[in-house]
Amino acid sequence: GENVEQHPSTLSVQEGDSAVIKCTYSDSASNYFPWYKQELGKRPQLIIDIRSNVGEKKDQRIAVTLNKTAKHFSLHITETQPEDSAVYFCAAPSDTGGFKTIFGAGTRLFVKA
């Protein structure tokens, strides 16, 4: 089945710097790669996603890149702000009909003011 690895587990950056979180997946048939943000005590919420027919997608200060050959995708946050501090999860659909989503272990991002 699908396996999703996420790195780093913790990331600390200075306000205004960029942050990059990387994930690898194992199932070459996977075609949808979302990123979720979870603020402390809240539910995870989708912030950006990418499908396998494109290599990059951008939405204001966040972007996701996908390398299907290497089976990895990354989240890029530019000009980080304190409110970006949260746990970020990458994910990929499982290979059992797409009913399940396999999540990475999460990255705790700290943005220092």
Phi, psi of 50 (to 5 degrees): -145, 140
Burial of 113 (0-12, 13-18, 19+ CB in 10 A): exposed
Which residue among 35, 36, 73, 88 contacts other proteins (CB under 8 A)? 36
Burial of 45 (0-12, 13-18, 19+ CB in 10 A): exposed
Interface with other proteins, residue 12, by CB under 8 A: no
Which residues between 46 and 85 bind other proteins (CB under 8 A)? 46, 49
Closer CB to other proteins, residue 11 or residue 78? Answer: 11
Closer CB to other proteins, residue 19 or residue 91? Answer: 91
**Binding piece for other proteins, criterion CB under 8 A, among 12-20, 67-75, 78-86, 94-102:** 94-102
Q: Which of 79, 83, 49 is nearest to 61 (CA)?
A: 79
Q: Give the footprint of other proteins on this chain (CB under 8 A).
A: 32, 34, 36, 42-46, 49, 89, 91, 93, 98-101, 103-106, 108
